Structure 1
Amino acid sequence: MKKILLLFLISTLTINLKSQNSSVPPLEREVTLSISNESVPFVLNAISQQTAVVFSYSPNVISTTNKISIDVNAKSVRHTLNTIFTGTVKYKVRGKYIILQKNDAVAKEEVVVEGYLYDSQTGDKLTNATVYSKEQKVSTLTDEYGYFKLEVPTDAANPELKVSKEGYADTLLSPISGNLNYVNVELSTKQKIEETPLLIEPTVEKEKNRIRMPEWLIPNRLLINTKNISDTLFSKFQFSLIPFVSTNKLLSGKTVNDYSLNMTIGYVQGVRKVELGGIANIVREDAGYCQLAGVANVVGGLAYGFQGAGTFNAVRQMSGIQAAGVINFVLNDADYIQLGGTGNFVGGKFTGVQVAGIFNIGSEMSGVQVAGVTNLTGEAEGVQVAGVHNHAKKIVGTQVAGVINNTDSLDGVQVTSVFNRAAYFKGYQIAVINYADSCDGIPFGLFNFVRKGYHKIELSADEVFYSNLAFRSGVKKFHSIVSVGIRPENLDNPVWMFGYGLGTTLGKSDKYLFDIDLTAHQVMKGSYFASRNSIYKFTLGLDRKISPKTSITFGLTYNIYVTDTNSKYYSDTFSSLVPYSFTNSTSSNGNNVKTWVGGKIGIRFL
C-alpha cells in the first residue's frame, strides 16, 4: 500500500513538473545544478532531466572528453548554456528541442548583446526594462523572464548601452566587444526623497496642469521606453510613417528634433523648429516655431510660433498664433492670437485676440474676444464682442452683444440690443432693458432698473388727465418713465392714455430736487386706437421730500398734441380734449397740432 501511494505521488509530481515546463519556453526553464569535473554531455543530460528539453547537436560542435564544473541555482537554461559554452555555441529552439550549433567567428554587421536583468535586492527578474543605445537609436525591452537581446551595428564607435526602468537607477553596461556579449545586470531602486508638504503640493499641481496625451494611438513598446528612459535624446531631423516606424525608432518619445516630418501620426518629446503631420503631431513637451497637422496638434508643454490644425490644437501653454478648423484648447496661459472655427478655450490667462465661430471660453482675458455666439470668461480687460451673449465675472472695458451682456462687475460700457445685466457697474449701459444691483454710472434704455438706484411711484394730475400713475426707474441722472392716465367722467368708454419717457433729476439737497422730463403719450378712447393721436410733454418740475420715502412734486409742462381730424372721435372728443391752446393749426393731410403750457401736481413714494 505504501509503495502504491509513493508511486502515485511521484507520478503526480512528474505530471505537474511537465505541465509547468510545457508552459515555459525551453530556454527559460529553470535549472539548479552543482556538478564538478564531468563531461559536457553529462551536464546536458542533467539539464534535460530537470527541464524536459532535448538537446540535439553534432559531435563536432561540443567536446565529449573535456571535463567541466558548474554551479547554478534557479537559473535559466539559456544562462546555464552561456555559462558552459561562453559564446562558442549558438542554439535554436524547435518545440522541446534545443539545437546546438557552432558559433563561427565570422565578421557580422551587428554586435549582439543579451542577458538578464534582476532586482538587486530581491533577485526578481525585471520585465519591460529598456536596454538602448543613445547614439545608434536602437533599443529593446526585457520580456516576461527578464531576458533581452539587442543587436548593435558594428559601425558604432564604442557604442554606449544603458539600462533604464521606471523606479530604478539607470545603469551603464560595460563596453561591448566581439560579436556576442552575454551579461547579467542587477538594477537598484531609486532612493525616495522624503516628501514634505512643500514638495507634494507643486507635484500635485503639475499633474493637474498636464495635457493628457492620446496614448491609445501609441504602441505600448514606445510608451514603455518613454516612461523608462530618463535621458533626453537630440536629432536634427526625424521622419516617421507611423509612431514606431521612425528614424528615431522606438526612442522617438524621448527625442527632441529640430525638424520633424510625420506622414500620419508623429510622437516625439520636443520640436525646436518645424513639424509637419499628415494626421496628427503629438509632442510630449515643447514645440516651435511652426507646427502644422491635417487633423490635430497635441503639445504637453509650451507651443510657440504658429500652430495650425484642420480640427483642433491642444497644448499646455501657447505663445503665438493658434488656428484650428474646430477648436483651440490651451490648459494654462496663451498669448497673442487664437482663431477657432468653432471655439477657443484657455484655462489660464489669455492676452491678445480671440476669434471664434461660436464661442470663446477662458478664466481671464486681456485683449479682444470676438465670437459668433458667446464669450465666457472670468476676468476680462478689453473688449468682448458676441453675436448673442457675453459673460464676464469682472470686466474693465466694453461688452458688445447681439442679445445679452452679463457681468458681476463692469468698469466701462455694455451695449446690446436687448438686455444688459451687471451686479455693479461704473460707466454706461445701453440696451432696451438694463439691470444692475448698484452703479456709479448711467443706464440708457427703454427700461432701466437699478436695485439700489432711483425708483419712484408717482400719482399725479394735470389739465388733461386728472388721474395718472407713473413708475420712474434707473438712476437720478437718467431714468425711464412708464405712465398711464385716465379721464374718469365716462368710465364706460373712457378717454385714457399710456406713455413712456425719459427723465433726469438734479440736485444734492436732502429736501429739494429738480426734474427734467421728456415724455410721449398715446391717447385712446375705450379700445379705439388712432396712429396719430399723441401728446408730447416737456416738463420742468420740483420734488419736495416730506418724509424719507415720500415727496410731493409739481411743475410746468410744455405740450404738443397731434391728432388726426379724420379719426372716429375727433369731432366729439379729441378736438375739445385740450382746455386751451397757444397755437392750433391743421395741415393739408388732416393733422391737427395744438400747443399749450400746462402744469402737474403729484405725490411720489419709495
Structure 2
Amino acid sequence: MKPVIIHKAFLLVLIFLVSHSLMAQPLLENRISIKVNNERIEEVLRQIGEKGGFSFSYSPDVIDVKARVSVNATNQSIREILNEIFKGSVTFKERRKYIILHKVAAEPERQPDNFFLNGYIIDKKTGERLRDASIYEANSLVSTVSNEYGYYRIKLPTAHPNLRLEVRKEEYSARSIEVTRRQDYYLTISLTPDTIRHIERQNPRILSRHDTVQSRVEPRVEIPRTPQVVSAPVPAAEPDTVAPASRPAYTLKERLQEVGDAFVYAFASTKQAIHTENITDTLYRPFQASILPFIGTNHQLSGNVINDVSLNLIAGYSLGVGALEVGGLVNIVRWDVQGIQVAGLANLVGRDVQGIQIAGFGNLNIGEFRGVQIAGTANATAEDFRGLQISGWANVVGRRLNGWQVTPGLNYARVVEKGHQLGFINYADSSATTPFGYFSYVRQNGYRRYEVSTDELNYFNASFKTGVAGFYNVFTFGMNAFLPGKPLGSIGYGIGTARRLGRGWMLNGDLVASRMAVQRQFWRQPQAGHYRIAVALEKKITPRIALSLGPTLNLLHTPYAGLFDTSPRRGLEPIWIGNKYDDAGITTYGWVGFQAALRFCNRI
C-alpha cells in the first residue's frame, strides 16, 4: 500500500504544480485556437471563455454583443483575438477568473494629456514574441520594456508635436516608427534579426590580453532572467608575446571593473539594465535631476543620456557628463566625464575623465584621467593618469603616471614617467622619478640591496635597502649573540642615496637611527638610541653580489654609564670623539667607526 500512497501523493503534487503554473500566466496571454464564421459576438466570447477556462464580464447595453464577426485564429493569445474582434473599441482588464470588457469612451472635447500604445514585439522571420525589448520615445524619454510574453504598453504625451517610437533589441536591427495618432491603440511591432550581431555574439572574437588592456570598457549590467552567452576561453599567452609589466594592468583593470559592476548592480534598476544592453543610441539633455537612477527627469533611460549638468539627491546613473555632476551618495557614469564631479560617497566612471573628481570615500575610473582626483579613502584609475591624486588611504594608477600621488597610505602605479609618489608605502613596476615614503619598491629599475655587515657596535647586521638609487629606505637589524661588554642588539630605520661611478663601482651614503637593546627586557628598558651616518664604496664582483667598505660617524645616547670602554686598544679600533654625561644621567658617546658588508643586489 505504501508505494501506491506515495505514487498518488506524487501525482497530486504534480497536478498542483501544473495548475499553479497555468494560473500564474495572465489570462490574456493564454493561447487558444478558434474558428467561427459570421457568428454573434456573445457566442464567440462564450467559446473563448470555455477554451481559456474563464468568464467574460461586460454590460450588453454598452457593448454590442449581437453584432456578428468571423474569427480564424490558430494558437494566438486571447489579447490578440479580442483586438481582432473589437478593433480597438473595447479595453480588457483581468480580475481573478474574469476578463472585464469596457467600451472605449468617445474622445472628449478636451484632448487628454497622455495616451497609450500597446501590443507585441515579434521576430519578423519566426513570429516569436520577444521579451526584454526596449521601447522608448527620444524627445520625452518615456520608455518601457516588453514583458516575458513580448507584450508592451507605453504612455506617451499627447501634446508633443513629433513622436517617434524607437524599438531596440540586442541581435536585432533598430526600428523607428512615427506615431501619427494621439489616442490609445494597439500596435504590433516586428523586428528583423541582425545576422552580423548574432554571429558575433555566438562566436565572440578572442582578444589577446594586450588587446583587452588597450580597449575601452564600460560597466556592464546583466539582465535578470536572460541567459548569458559564454565566451570562448582565452588561451594563455606565450611568455615572449606579452611583456611581464602588462599582466598586472590587465588583472587590475578586470578587478576594478568588478568593483564598478557591483556599484551598478546596487543602484541601477532591471529596466535600466535592459536598456543599457539594447540601446546604442546616444541621447543628450542639458540638465537632469534625480533622486535615484530610476527616479528622475531622465526616467529609465538615464543610463543612455549625456547631461551637461547632473544633480543627484542620493545616486545618479548616466551615460556621460559634460560640465558638472553633484551626488549626495554615488555618481555612476558609463562613459566620459568632463568638468567637475562631486559625490558624498563615491564616483564611478566607465571611461575617461578630464577635470576634478571629489568623493568622500572613493573615486573609481576604468579609463584615463586628466586633472585632480581627491578622495577621503581611495582613488583608482585603470589606465593612464595625468595630474594629482590625493587620498586618505590609497592611490592606484593602472598604467602610466604623469603627476603626483599623495597619501598617508599606499601609492601604486604601473609606470611613473613624471611627478612623484609621496606616501607611507609606494610601489611601481618602473619609475623615472624618485618616490618618497617610509617604504618604496620599484620592481624593474629600482634599487635593492640585501646586506650582511659587521661594525664595532654589532658583530652581525642584516639590512634591506629599497627604493631608487636617488632615495631609498633602509631597514636594519643587529645582534651580538649575548657577548659580554656588548649591547644585545639593535633594530633601526633610515634613508640613503647612491651614485653610480661606472664599471661596477657605486658610492652610497646612509643615515640610520636604531634603538639599542642593552638588557633582556628590551621594550621595558630605558631607551638607548644609536644614530649613524655611513659612507661606503661598493664594488660588484658578480652582477648580483657586491662588497662594500666605508667609514661611519656615530652617536649613542644611553642611560647606561660605562657601556663602552673608550681607553686606547691595540689593533683596528674606532676613533673615539668622546663621551658626555648630562644631569638626567644620559651618556652620549661619539666615535668614527667602520662598516664592511657583503651585498646581494638586483641588477641596478
Same-fold call, TM cutoff 0.5: yes
Q: Is the aligned partner of 1:406 residue 2:463?
A: no
Q: Determine the structure 2 residue equivalent to 1:35.
A: 36
Report if the CA contact (8 A) 2:506-2:537 is conserved: no
CA deviation vs aligned residue, 1:73-132 (integer Å, no higher than 9, x gap): 211111111111111111222211111111012232112100011223333221121111
- Measured in 2, the distance between the counterparts of 1:222 and 1:152 equals 19
- Measured in 1, the distance between the counterparts of 2:563 and 2:465 equals 39
Larger radius of gyration: 1
CA distance 1:532–1:238, shift in 2 (3 Å): farther
Displacement of 1:398 in angstroms is: 13
CA deviation vs aligned residue, 1:175-216 (integer Å, no higher than 9, x gap): 341411211222222222676998844874435656333222
Give the residue type in structure 2 aligned to 1:391: Y
CA deviation vs aligned residue, 1:209-238 (integer Å, no higher than 9, x gap): 563332222221221122111111110000
Q: Determine the structure 2 residue equivalent to 1:299.
A: 349
Aligned-partner SS, 1:41:
helix
- Measured in 1, the distance between the counterparts of 2:148 and 2:578 equals 100
Report if the CA contact (8 A) 1:535-1:562 is conserved: no
Displacement of 1:434 in angstroms is: 11
Q: Is the aligned partner of 1:260 residue 2:310?
A: yes
CA distance 1:98–1:439, shift in 2 (3 Å): same
Aligned-partner SS, 2:434:
strand
Q: Determine the structure 1 residue equivalent to 2:540.
A: 452
Q: Determine the structure 2 residue equivalent to 1:135.
A: 139
- Measured in 2, the distance between the counterparts of 1:62 and 1:430 equals 94
Displacement of 1:416 in angstroms is: 4.1
- Measured in 2, the distance between the counterparts of 1:533 and 1:63 equals 128
The one of 507, 530, 539 aligned to 2:565: 530
Q: Determine the structure 1 residue equivalent to 2:264.
A: 215
Q: Determine the structure 2 residue equivalent to 1:336.
A: 387
- Measured in 2, the distance between the counterparts of 1:473 and 1:66 equals 109
Aligned-partner SS, 1:84:
helix
Give the residue type in structure 1 aligned to 2:80: H
Report if the CA contact (8 A) 1:244-1:250 is conserved: yes
How many corresponding residue pairs?
455
Give the residue type in structure 2 aligned to 1:367: K
Aligned-partner SS, 1:143:
coil
Report if the CA contact (8 A) 1:390-1:405 is conserved: no
Give the residue type in structure 1 aligned to 2:173: A
The one of 293, 297, 301 aligned to 1:251: 301
CA deviation vs aligned residue, 1:419-462 (integer Å, no higher than 9, x gap): 7xxxxxxxxx97499999984532235485857249xxxxxxxx
Q: Determine the structure 2 residue equivalent to 1:546.
A: none
- Measured in 1, the distance between the counterparts of 2:349 and 2:361 equals 15
- Measured in 1, the distance between the counterparts of 2:283 and 2:54 equals 43
Q: Is the aligned partner of 1:325 residue 2:376?
A: yes
Farther off after superposition, 127-136 or 219-228? 219-228
- Measured in 2, the distance between the counterparts of 1:38 and 1:265 equals 58
Q: Is the aligned partner of 1:276 residue 2:326?
A: yes
Give the residue type in structure 2 aligned to 1:245: I
CA deviation vs aligned residue, 1:124-167 (integer Å, no higher than 9, x gap): 22112111111111111111111110010101113111111222
Q: Determine the structure 1 residue equivalent to 2:582.
A: none
Q: Determine the structure 1 residue equivalent to 2:290.
A: 240
Structure with more contact order per residue of length (Cα contacts < 8 Å, sep ≥ 6): 2
Give the residue type in structure 2 aligned to 1:216: Y
CA distance 1:93–1:359, shift in 2 (3 Å): same
Report if the CA contact (8 A) 1:534-1:561 is conserved: no
CA deviation vs aligned residue, 1:483-538 (integer Å, no higher than 9, x gap): xxxxxxxxxxxxxxxxxx48xxxxxxxxxxxxxxx99xxxxxxx995335378999
Q: Is the aligned partner of 1:125 residue 2:129?
A: yes
Matches within 5 A, 1:144-163: 144-163=148-167
CA distance 1:26–1:328, shift in 2 (3 Å): same
Report if the CA contact (8 A) 1:160-1:172 is conserved: yes
Q: Determine the structure 1 residue equivalent to 2:168.
A: 164
CA distance 1:438–1:277, shift in 2 (3 Å): farther
Instruction: Give the structure-2-normalised TM-score.
Output: 0.67
CA distance 1:376–1:562, shift in 2 (3 Å): closer
CA distance 1:39–1:287, shift in 2 (3 Å): same
CA distance 1:449–1:72, shift in 2 (3 Å): farther
CA distance 1:453–1:29, shift in 2 (3 Å): same
Displacement of 1:15 in angstroms is: 10
- Measured in 2, the distance between the counterparts of 1:563 and 1:533 equals 12
Give the residue type in structure 2 aligned to 1:215: V
- Measured in 1, the distance between the counterparts of 2:447 and 2:285 equals 47
CA distance 1:440–1:60, shift in 2 (3 Å): farther
CA distance 1:100–1:352, shift in 2 (3 Å): same
- Measured in 2, the distance between the counterparts of 1:276 and 1:563 equals 66
Give the residue type in structure 2 aligned to 1:85: F
The one of 422, 425, 429 aligned to 1:378: 429
Displacement of 1:26 in angstroms is: 1.5
CA distance 1:436–1:179, shift in 2 (3 Å): farther
Give the residue type in structure 2 aligned to 1:298: L
Amino-acid identity (%): 28
Q: Determine the structure 1 residue equivalent to 2:517.
A: none
Aligned-partner SS, 1:382:
coil
- Measured in 2, the distance between the counterparts of 1:197 and 1:148 equals 31
CA distance 1:76–1:203, shift in 2 (3 Å): farther
Segments of structure 1 that go 5 or more residues without pairing to the other structure are 1-13, 420-428, 455-471, 481-500, 503-517, 520-526, 539-558, 565-606
- Compare the two structures and name the one with the higher strand fraction: 1
Report if the CA contact (8 A) 2:499-2:506 is conserved: no
Give the residue type in structure 1 aligned to 2:540: K
- Measured in 2, the distance between the counterparts of 1:561 and 1:143 equals 90
Give the residue type in structure 1 aligned to 2:72: D
Report if the CA contact (8 A) 1:281-1:296 is conserved: yes
Instruction: Give the structure-1-normalised TM-score.
Output: 0.67
The one of 491, 496, 508 aligned to 1:443: 508
Matches within 5 A, 1:388-537: 388-395=438-445, 405-406=465-466, 413-416=470-473, 418=475, 431=496, 439-445=504-510, 446=534, 448=536, 450=538, 452-453=540-541, 473-474=547-548, 479-480=549-550, 501=551, 529-533=564-568
Displacement of 1:353 in angstroms is: 1.1
Aligned-partner SS, 1:530:
coil
- Measured in 1, the distance between the counterparts of 2:358 and 2:410 equals 18
- Measured in 2, the distance between the counterparts of 1:563 and 1:98 equals 107
Displacement of 1:378 in angstroms is: 0.8
Report if the CA contact (8 A) 2:142-2:156 is conserved: yes
Displacement of 1:21 in angstroms is: 4.3
- Measured in 2, the distance between the counterparts of 1:255 and 1:560 equals 77
Q: Determine the structure 1 residue equivalent to 2:415.
A: 364
CA distance 1:32–1:370, shift in 2 (3 Å): same
Give the residue type in structure 2 aligned to 1:313: N
- Measured in 2, the distance between the counterparts of 1:391 and 1:114 equals 63
Displacement of 1:329 in angstroms is: 0.4
